[in-house]
Structure 1
């Protein structure tokens, strides 16, 4: 499959790119600055595009079978996430691609207490604006006419090992017996490419955790 990955140089995007290449896909890394990505592979191309410019995205996306967005704003610029969601939907549509997967946020998942994770007392205040921006962006994706899938990580996601073993949920936070919710960035990428290869959650959200 020929995939365009937006934000391919970030922590999550890089691992999604590596997983896609591992499985034999052709990948175009869509980046504001292609020089920021030093990964080289015979099936990897790099395309310059501005995530805030739908025409720019359209050109980079044309001819692909699917788009994966791993865009993440800088700290303090959370409002970019909402604008980017609109642009990504528009650019994908204009580029003639119907399949869109989004590496999203976990804050809007329902915690065991019955409220969104981002509204629980223990949720870190410093990342609450980012969580709310992700939740607002999710609403934009839900309303679009593309074959979208929104993938929420566990409450804690960080670089680690690729095991290929995890549990899947829908709109509720997945926790272990101790109440912890974790996933490695590598296994999160596995889950996203699994969905690309074998769609199970078209026009819906799912989440993964150990």
Structure 2
């Protein structure tokens, strides 16, 4: 499959691109700064694009079978996430691609208390604005007519090992016996590519955690 990964230079995007390569897919990295992926130039096609410009996205994704967006705004520029969501939908549509998978946020997942994770007392105050932006962007994707899937991570996502073993949920935060909600970036990438290779969640959100 020919896949375009928007934001492939970031922590999550890079591992998604690596997982796609591992599975034999052709990968185009769509990034702001191609120099950040210079070590991958023999493994994937690298193109420059502006994630908030529909025309730029359309040109970058044209001819691909699917687009995976791992776009993330800089700290303090969270509102750009909404602009990027609209631009991505329009750009993917103009580029003639129907399948769109999105790296989402965990803040709007529902906890055992019935509250969204971002509304619980334990949620870091400095991340609330970003979590709210992710939740609003999710609403934008829900209104899209594309074949979209939105993958929310666990409450904590960080680099680790690739086990290929995790649990899947829909709108509720997945926790273990101790109440912890974690996933490695590597296993998050596995879940994303599993959904690409064998779609189970077209037109909806899902989440993964140990």
* Range into which the TM-score falls when normalised by the shorter chain: over 0.9
Instruction: Tell whether 2:153 aligns with 1:149.
Output: no
CA positional deviation for 1:42: 4.4
Alignment size in residue pairs: 210
Give secondary structure in 2 for the equivalent of 1:171: coil
1:8/1:30 contact within 8 Å kept: yes
Spell out structure 1 runs of 4+ moving beyond 2 A. none
TM-score, normalised to structure 1, is 0.99
Deviation at 1:33, TM superposition (A): 1.2
Structure 2 residue runs of 5 or longer lacking an equivalent are none
Root-mean-square deviation over aligned CA pairs: 0.8
Report the Cα distance in structure 1 between the residues aligned to 2:47 and 2:94, rounded to whole angstroms: 17
Q: Helix, strand or coil: the match of 2:38?
A: coil
In the TM superposition, 1:96-107 aligns within 5 A as 96-107=96-107
Correspondence for 2:27 = 27
The DSSP-based 3-state class of the residue aligned with 1:126 is: helix
1:118-177 CA-partner distances (Å, limit 9, x unpaired): 001110000000000000000000000000000000000000000000000000000000
SS of the residue 1:38 aligns to? helix
TM-score (norm 2): 0.99
Indicate if the aligned counterparts of 1:25 and 1:43 stay in contact, CA closer than 8 A.
no
Alpha-carbon distance between aligned partners in 2 of 1:133 and 1:64, rounded to the nearest angstrom: 28
Superposed displacement of residue 40, structure 1: 1.8
CA distance in 2, matches of 1:9, 1:42: 15
